[in-house]
Structure 1
């Protein structure tokens, strides 16, 4: 594919007629690169060895048996609670060393080698040695376990060697299977970091202004803290390991009213929102309960005719697609009204799920309504449905601006009389004037693009009929949890077979690059989109393009055109009568023209991140590689937010990136609207992230039947321990120079959703060996997690022991706590204020950390005992 792309580029440049554009003499691709045929010809002149785990080929062919076999996989030990993983490794190594075999561990990177060595030492395996390479490892004392960076997935055993890999030991914990994918998610998390002046929400103190990171000297140890300013200039310093108590509220430009530190206004606002959220949660669950109480149409597929319809799908279904289709068919056959959300990235095959559901409903004698947000998408779905249902006795109509008043009236009458089986249209379908004779299924595509009013109308449908909703905008994790039990969810996260990721370029607008891109697409028989942010840009851009690529046929489209004109333009472009479609972002939603595989955005900095992502999804939808060029005016400085958006979209260019993008970006994920318009006011009061968290709590409390007290208990369970163990805790600026990257790393560690060992390994790879302060940070995070498990809200430790304060002065199992204190033989005292004093002699920091971990692990075991 790379070679073919280079050849296409060369052809585009060579055939360029405008000498002002092609300002260089291109070099033929075959002078720079080997083609596949070249490689095969070169191999044909040499003896080629085949590596195999089997005896292959002719018996008389030369074969060398290396005597190697597959090594031990420790996944069984890793999965079982009653087996010590590191004990199993120690035993395995000792067995091999006893017969003079050298034992090696192959790691993916220097960072993971360091971390694995640390893990082995922590579990009593201290006979390890790091080696730079294979040769150095083989020279080490055979009694040592050698660790080296070797790109192997699985271990093996040879006559003189037993090799274990990182993956054999840890599974996928430290494996970066797709470096780019992981790097993209991390970049997005770091992008979600704060800029000075941004407004943030502290769960306990409300809205403050972020002023930066400050290193504080606390009793002789250096500690990084987040500095927040509140009303009246009051300052609050939040230790970096507790950064998870903060969530972003708005950028500096948005403006917000600061809360008073220690004031009552914030708690009052939270209480007001909480009360309203309990009502919302109650409403959500009532809708869910009503659906469970109501009986829906039982729709069972007729296998023979259904398989005939399914066989028309021109691709192989992905596993996710098959699971989603089966889930929908099971819902339809359950006898309860379906309310399922199918969430999948652009071009991942959600429409096929809808087609199968529609076929099942029509075969059962029911009518189907397909509701979409735009006329172009209505037109496309209409053509898709007509094409797929051709030959079946199914009548399909369209209701949108694309049809005449006479045709619309005729369609409405036929829907009322039952003569039409499937109607595809915009929100006109939701009109109260429209009557169905036997509506059984409503399919809603791109729900996130509907306005509040339309969403209210859609909700009215939900209590009676089967509803299938399709969306390319992924649901934030917290909102997804909040909706558990309210709507069923299917995710399509795997791309179709043979789908290639869209190659993405962000660059200043350059006539030569634009010409090459458009001509290259033309020479490979394809078409291109050229998208402008405003209708008024179309005329000037059209004139430039006609001068730049006179060989190509150009046509323009925008939303202010009449429905007939727009339909004619799209039909002509779909029929390959034009090479370039110059348009506004009306092509953003779900448009599928497989032959158009290059898209160029004029002034990409003026589009939102969701729009950039959706527009890129218009190309690369077949087996051809898609190309996306996001251009900006080189003479106009980019705003910082526009630059960040363009950086994100260029970084996230692999398939399925929408799901990564959704986890930390407000712009693309949207907030949804669950039960009405007033939500936005409450979101403004507490911020979107805290709002979603509170909504999740409210749903859980209402489901449990505990109401306000239950919601308070759930929220209380999200406390953060306060820790002071005399360590300097920070990521030094000399180690990670970029402030946003540091903040991103702090947040990832504080949230505890990722393995801290994996983050540490990544840091070694990105920035070099870990400084002492970062090692301290990792230790502090580990102790913080143990404190949470043990119910310890405050921990102060020094050379002579520690003071332990429990959350709300309570312990989950007081009886076991008393037993534990008794066993400590006078080294633990209980103070009148209910705090425990651990009397210890910790001469050095290593002993202090080990002692704290041991005590906290024992307390956690007591608290967790059933």
Structure 2
């Protein structure tokens, strides 16, 4: 018999004996105590129990509930547990969460619900009510669409333009999208007349279909609760750390607590690891994996190979668990590098991917589980199954942000006011953007030419002057601006060339030591992060000095990119300077860098006001002597007395926080030294340079798998709401930032908060405190001795505390958008849902700019929105400050986007690059538009029009076409016409034709002067008796038949310009 099969069967028998004992005692006593189960082993035990029984698991805290849910699901063949917990936003989200869990439980999809004492209070509908509210839809069945919509509204669903969260539905023509609570993915139902043609699951993020279904059950989104959760469920109750659970229950409202205790007494219970055993007692011996991390720290990953060999020699079955497939493969490769070949042990050792929060040893089962926690010393938690796809980020303010009344800039006609979409019959029905100019004149822009239109970005309080249609002033203004732009372009290009011609230090390529260091990173790198790391390494190994900007949201992994660059530099015997704007951030980075380098002989120090003058003097001496490898500091690093032995890399975090003098000193430091700049919200000039490719940029827009968007609310100073928000965070074991930017009355506010939330432990931190006092408060907050930190914006670029997941900003209207964005980024840095509350006076009292700032923050709650926020901030502040006083007038005159477009064009000319192809004008008799009953929302139609106008090749056009079919249903005839026009536009661009008209005379073609086909086509056309040559770049082809034949004719010329002959 195969050894592994024999061994596995022994293990299963042992597990079965333990389970049988438990079930027997449960039947006899209805109260069983199990002792000796470590966290990981408990997950294994309960996964086996809930394959047989249904039930509810109660843990004392949300954190323990999350851990246990993860561990049970890791060992189960199917998902059998789900968290239910309260939410400060109240009823809506709690209901949706509860409905989803209950559907799964009553349908048998899950066997248990894991919750906390607070979760037991949720009022939920009965099983009968849930079942009777559910209806089914099947492929091929006749269905009344209107009746389905009425039913969805009755069941608490909300109609939206695009489905994104459970409890929403959307109807677009023949496509009905529904997101039932409890479903991992929403449904897309496509109708043909009144019959269901197909049912598909689709991905919320991409909005694309992923799988076909024959049938779907749709349950209610909201139903009135009748009983508490505990009274509604059936089966066994498992209480983990029961004394703590009972303490939490007693802390609830008295009547509620008594009711829960009464119900619990009537149910069969299993007590896990109580201090005092009750009922029948079972004891198992399991323990955590100890000592491995210390050995790995001392000897590297070779210690892991030895550790595994020892347990294999004792006959253990070993499971190595990584959180992602990438980490699993990396661990295999590393073990091979250290000589662990698995020969003779393949049946006894397995590599697994999943979310086990902690390893364990179960001696009686000869079973060992090892996770990344035991190897790398950090627990990797990944609660979100969101795919890590790349998103487009480097783009201009998109046209879908336009609303009627906005100022726009047309490249050829100037500044006007967008008045909306208008459908006109011009050689067939088509959609146009209507733009109003001076004197009320209107311009109608065909949607395929939307790429010529930009939103005007400038100060909102100083609207631009409208251009006059038919006048020459706009063209003269463009010429003037282009001359001014040329100055800036030459200056920028000189900087670029200067850097590319400077001689830098070429670092060595990554070696096995570097790859081992990479492997000690305990998280999976996101695709963007990996790209950024590779780009940095490419820059460093080149002979030119690096000057790269890493732009990414707070907590998206910029620091790790910098750490790897620093490691590479130090391994090549160079020093690294890390420049940060605040003392707090310097200390934070000091801890992070030291932690990552702890296994290596790398000396990391910091230079800030936390150091005494004597300590600073000693550090400077060691730095000059080359005894410090990495120095982290504030602007203190920029003073003249700071000297390096051999500086090779400069890392600048949040450069926009430094003043003009500091930036001048930075320029000196950067000469011939590799420079890496990190930012979450780029400063406008850096952003501008990034957009035009003069400064190398890496964007990290993919969030870590576990991150969730931060719930953002604008609120008045309401004591009840503030108490609710703070108490919710404290009760789930979290911490709160309360930002108040006035030192004068910060202690008065502290006293007020102590009255509002007496349960909170409140500490105060501000920039005028002594460094010792500040450090003491920060330390208490970091270590959890304080759960509310009342502070000024000193935390803005400082603390990284994953346990702090609520931030309240007082008088938020007095902050800038970038500041508020950075402050909000202090929370939501773990898998927990995070909340940001911005306290403002009545919105009537706010300035227009303050309202726009706060609206922008509420609008951009999605992860990775820092780049878009930077663009919004440009709009609010006015983009004129980008280039100083010399250029501000020109930026104002033509708008930020057109200015940067002119700058890009000028730079292409100076670099000798080809200009971008012009957009041809097309006038043919065809209906070309998106019907409103196909895409109802004007904003969505604008978005599709914009995407189509920007298409660069036929493959991209085909992809959009497939996406339209998937999301909106079969493509109607007018949209097919529009797709044909876009296809023709691409072909005309290749041929160098700038205008095509269908007239009574025939097909009129106008070439660009530099068209590569102009001479060839003209010379051939002259030979055609039915071709009239109007000029050296224009001809009329008199062809018989309708416009479609003309279109096919033109297409044949594009495909084969040599073949002019053929049909007349």
TM-score under structure 2 length normalisation:
0.58
CA 682–251 in structure 1, closer or farther in 2 if over 3 Å, else same: closer
| Aligned with 2:864 (options 656, 660, 668) | 656
| Aligned with 1:132 (options 174, 191, 195) | 191
CA 785–494 in structure 1, closer or farther in 2 if over 3 Å, else same: same
**Cα offsets for 1:535-556 (capped at 9, x unmatched):** 6785675455333211002233
- Residue 371 of structure 1 and its aligned partner are, at CA, apart by 0.8
Q: How far apart in 2 are the matches of 1:743 and 1:537? A: 49
CA 837–664 in structure 1, closer or farther in 2 if over 3 Å, else same: farther
| Aligned with 1:836 (options 1029, 1035, 1052) | 1035
Bigger mean CA deviation after superposition, 636-645 or 311-320: 636-645
Unaligned runs of 5+ residues in structure 1 are: 14-21, 45-107, 115-129, 138-146, 159-176, 705-709
Q: How far apart in 2 are the matches of 1:377 and 1:311? A: 26
CA 479–337 in structure 1, closer or farther in 2 if over 3 Å, else same: closer
Other-structure match for 1:812: 1012
Unaligned runs of 5+ residues in structure 2 are: 1-61, 67-81, 113-168, 176-188, 203-208, 215-385, 1060-1064
Residue 546 of structure 1 aligns to a residue whose secondary structure is helix
Q: How far apart in 1 are the matches of 2:394 and 2:556? A: 20
Please say if residues 211 and 229 of structure 1, whose CA atoms lie closer than 8 Å, have aligned partners that are also in contact. Answer: no
- Residue 199 of structure 1 and its aligned partner are, at CA, apart by 4.0
Please say if residues 448 and 670 of structure 1, whose CA atoms lie closer than 8 Å, have aligned partners that are also in contact. Answer: no
| Aligned with 1:277 (options 476, 488, 498) | 488
Q: How far apart in 2 are the matches of 1:205 and 1:435? A: 56
Q: How far apart in 1 are the matches of 2:1037 and 2:109? A: 75
Please say if residues 388 and 526 of structure 2, whose CA atoms lie closer than 8 Å, have aligned partners that are also in contact. Answer: no
Please say if residues 557 and 569 of structure 1, whose CA atoms lie closer than 8 Å, have aligned partners that are also in contact. Answer: yes
| Aligned with 2:692 (options 470, 482, 492) | 482
Please say if residues 787 and 793 of structure 1, whose CA atoms lie closer than 8 Å, have aligned partners that are also in contact. Answer: yes
Q: How far apart in 2 are the matches of 1:299 and 1:668? A: 45
Q: How far apart in 2 are the matches of 1:324 and 1:546? A: 45
Q: How far apart in 1 are the matches of 2:902 and 2:507? A: 37
Q: How far apart in 2 are the matches of 1:863 and 1:112? A: 41
Alignment of 1:489-500 (within 5 A): 489-497=697-705, 499-500=706-707
Q: How far apart in 1 are the matches of 2:173 and 2:388? A: 14
Other-structure match for 2:779: 571
Other-structure match for 1:290: 501
- Residue 813 of structure 1 and its aligned partner are, at CA, apart by 1.9
**Cα offsets for 1:264-304 (capped at 9, x unmatched):** 6413422322321341243133223323xx14164566745
- Residue 579 of structure 1 and its aligned partner are, at CA, apart by 0.9
Alignment of 1:73-84 (within 5 A): none
Q: How far apart in 2 are the matches of 1:157 and 1:729? A: 34
Please say if residues 213 and 225 of structure 1, whose CA atoms lie closer than 8 Å, have aligned partners that are also in contact. Answer: yes
Please say if residues 556 and 704 of structure 2, whose CA atoms lie closer than 8 Å, have aligned partners that are also in contact. Answer: yes
- Residue 215 of structure 1 and its aligned partner are, at CA, apart by 6.3
- Residue 784 of structure 1 and its aligned partner are, at CA, apart by 3.5
Please say if residues 550 and 700 of structure 2, whose CA atoms lie closer than 8 Å, have aligned partners that are also in contact. Answer: yes
CA 479–30 in structure 1, closer or farther in 2 if over 3 Å, else same: closer
Other-structure match for 1:531: 739
- Residue 625 of structure 1 and its aligned partner are, at CA, apart by 3.6
**Cα offsets for 1:798-838 (capped at 9, x unmatched):** 46633222234x53224541476379x54433224642213
Please say if residues 596 and 619 of structure 1, whose CA atoms lie closer than 8 Å, have aligned partners that are also in contact. Answer: yes
Please say if residues 597 and 624 of structure 1, whose CA atoms lie closer than 8 Å, have aligned partners that are also in contact. Answer: yes
Q: How far apart in 2 are the matches of 1:566 and 1:666? A: 34
Residue 828 of structure 2 aligns to a residue whose secondary structure is coil
| Aligned with 2:626 (options 391, 398, 418) | 418
Please say if residues 269 and 685 of structure 1, whose CA atoms lie closer than 8 Å, have aligned partners that are also in contact. Answer: no
Please say if residues 526 and 702 of structure 2, whose CA atoms lie closer than 8 Å, have aligned partners that are also in contact. Answer: yes
- Alignment pair present for 1:438 and 2:632: no
- Alignment pair present for 1:315 and 2:523: yes
Q: How far apart in 2 are the matches of 1:684 and 1:656? A: 29
Other-structure match for 1:193: 402
CA 360–271 in structure 1, closer or farther in 2 if over 3 Å, else same: closer
Please say if residues 434 and 444 of structure 2, whose CA atoms lie closer than 8 Å, have aligned partners that are also in contact. Answer: yes
CA 109–366 in structure 1, closer or farther in 2 if over 3 Å, else same: same
Give the number of equivalent residue pairs. Answer: 725
- Alignment pair present for 1:9 and 2:86: yes
- Alignment pair present for 1:821 and 2:1021: yes
Please say if residues 430 and 458 of structure 1, whose CA atoms lie closer than 8 Å, have aligned partners that are also in contact. Answer: yes
- Residue 404 of structure 1 and its aligned partner are, at CA, apart by 4.0
Q: How far apart in 2 are the matches of 1:647 and 1:677? A: 29
Other-structure match for 1:362: 570
- Residue 580 of structure 1 and its aligned partner are, at CA, apart by 1.4
Q: How far apart in 2 are the matches of 1:386 and 1:7? A: 38
Other-structure match for 2:946: 747
Q: How far apart in 1 are the matches of 2:661 and 2:886? A: 12
Other-structure match for 2:553: 345
- Residue 665 of structure 1 and its aligned partner are, at CA, apart by 7.3
CA 303–806 in structure 1, closer or farther in 2 if over 3 Å, else same: closer
- Alignment pair present for 1:627 and 2:627: no
TM-score under structure 1 length normalisation:
0.69
Whichever of the two has the greater Rg, that structure is 2
CA 775–665 in structure 1, closer or farther in 2 if over 3 Å, else same: farther
**Alignment RMSD:** 5.1
CA 151–284 in structure 1, closer or farther in 2 if over 3 Å, else same: same
CA 690–412 in structure 1, closer or farther in 2 if over 3 Å, else same: farther
Please say if residues 184 and 652 of structure 1, whose CA atoms lie closer than 8 Å, have aligned partners that are also in contact. Answer: no
Q: How far apart in 1 are the matches of 2:939 and 2:211? A: 39
- Residue 424 of structure 1 and its aligned partner are, at CA, apart by 1.1
- Alignment pair present for 1:858 and 2:1052: yes
CA 564–733 in structure 1, closer or farther in 2 if over 3 Å, else same: farther
Residue 1028 of structure 2 aligns to a residue whose secondary structure is strand
Other-structure match for 2:183: none
Other-structure match for 2:453: 246
| Aligned with 2:998 (options 797, 803, 807) | 797
